[in-house]
Amino acid sequence: MKKPELLVTPTNVSDIEKLAAVGADAFVIGEQQFGLRLAGDFTREDVKQATETSHKLNKKIYVAVNALFHNEKIDAVYDYLSYLNTLNVDGVLFGDPAVLMVAREVAPNLKLHWNTEMTATNWYTCNYWGKRGAKRAVLARELNMDAIVEIKENAEVEIEVQVHGMTNMFQSKRSLVGNYFEYQGNVMEIENRKLEKNMFLYDKERDNKYPIFEDVNGTHIMSPNDICIIDELEEMIDAGVDSFKIDGVLKTSEYLIEVTKRYRKAIDLCVDDRDEYENIKDELLEELEELQPANRPLDTGFFFKETVY
């Protein structure tokens, strides 16, 4: 039985070695103007350094180019993909077909991961993009376990599933918070909000806080809870899911290191010693619960719910 890749989104270059040391197999990084909801903003030099470091450690680097691109951005996509190709990155995430078309021209050997975060809901669509050049599909976060297993059984491409972290609920291409502050005349607040990680929409009825995340691609409203599936990995491992992702958006480096450490242990035991995994998985979940901020409980997302749109 193969072990799924443990994929982490680091917040900065210096965390690559630390995360690799505790068991991460691969990393998703990128520059905000090209990638959506990145845990950290990586310049070209950062991407180069991260790729060199990862390859020395026999780890993989994937670069997010999954933003939506208007006409005036296409030239930049040509240039960026050409640059990534010179670095020998291990994969590029895309959602916009324009990225696939550009890659065919300037970097036909780049491995492409189809990642729209919401429309990968069946194996037909995964295979559609596979026939057009994608080697991996990143499944929608709203799928339950049965749907994930069924897709993997029928997919002709690699399958990636997020197993930990917050998920996106809403995106606007507008800088809604920034525009509001600007309307109020609070220019200093606009400048500082990029460093602020405690902006929330508060739902009094449900007592939920929805984090607001802004980057150059607009405004993103995130889930009030973090997914955690560390004690329910068996079905996906048995089905052969190729990659498990830990999302680091709005997380600290220390948090990501500790979470990665637990998932490494869980994956290894689930594959190598299933009985021991069954004995220890509740303990691992409790350890992760202790790491959580008070306002961000863990849950299993849609893994055991009926999918609702």
What pLDDT tens digit does each residue of the chain (309 aa) get?
889 999 999 999 999 999 999 999 999 999 988 988 788 899 999 999 999 999 999 999 999 999 889 999 999 999 999 999 999 999 999 999 999 999 999 999 999 999 987 789 999 999 999 999 999 999 998 899 999 999 999 999 999 999 998 876 555 565 545 544 444 444 434 333 444 455 655 555 555 666 776 666 667 676 668 889 999 999 999 999 999 999 988 789 999 999 999 999 999 999 999 999 999 999 999 999 999 887 788 888 777 876 554
**Judgement on whether residues 72 and 214 belong to the same structural domain of the protein:** no
Could you count the other beta carbons within 10 Å of the beta carbon of residue 198? 10
Residue 178 lies in a domain: yes
**C-alpha dist (Å) from residue 34 to 8, 43, 64, 93:** 18, 11, 7, 10
CATH number at residue 288: 3.20.20.70
**Judgement on whether residues 59 and 160 belong to the same structural domain of the protein:** yes
pLDDT at 292: 87
Domain limit, last residue, from 180, 199, 220: 220
**Judgement on whether residues 30 and 145 belong to the same structural domain of the protein:** yes
**Judgement on whether residues 113 and 205 belong to the same structural domain of the protein:** no
**Judgement on whether residues 216 and 227 belong to the same structural domain of the protein:** no
Domain limit, last residue, from 204, 220, 236: 220
DSSP assignment of 30-99 = --TTTSSS-SS---HHHHHHHHHHHHHTT-EEEEE--S---GGGHHHHHHHHHHHHHHT-SEEEE-SHHH
**Judgement on whether residues 147 and 289 belong to the same structural domain of the protein:** yes
- Pair 16, 54: CB distance under 8 Å: yes
pLDDT at 304: 80
**Judgement on whether residues 178 and 250 belong to the same structural domain of the protein:** no
**Judgement on whether residues 179 and 262 belong to the same structural domain of the protein:** no
**C-alpha dist (Å) from residue 166 to 4, 141, 219, 250:** 21, 10, 15, 9
**Judgement on whether residues 43 and 138 belong to the same structural domain of the protein:** yes
Domain span holding position 43: 5-167+223-299
CA-closest candidate to residue 202, choices 213, 212, 194, 193: 212
Look at the block and give the residue holding tokens 């600290």.
Answer: 252
**Judgement on whether residues 62 and 73 belong to the same structural domain of the protein:** yes
Whole-model pTM: value is 0.85
**Judgement on whether residues 285 and 175 belong to the same structural domain of the protein:** no
What's the rounded Cα separation, in Å, for the pair 109 and 28?
19
pLDDT at 186: 47
**Judgement on whether residues 148 and 256 belong to the same structural domain of the protein:** yes
**C-alpha dist (Å) from residue 62 to 33, 57, 112, 114, 135:** 16, 15, 9, 12, 13
- How many domains, in total, are found in the chain? 2
What's the rounded Cα separation, in Å, for the pair 171 and 266?
33
- Pair 262, 281: CB distance under 8 Å: no
Residue 294 lies in a domain: yes
- Pair 279, 196: CB distance under 8 Å: no
Residue 309 lies in a domain: no
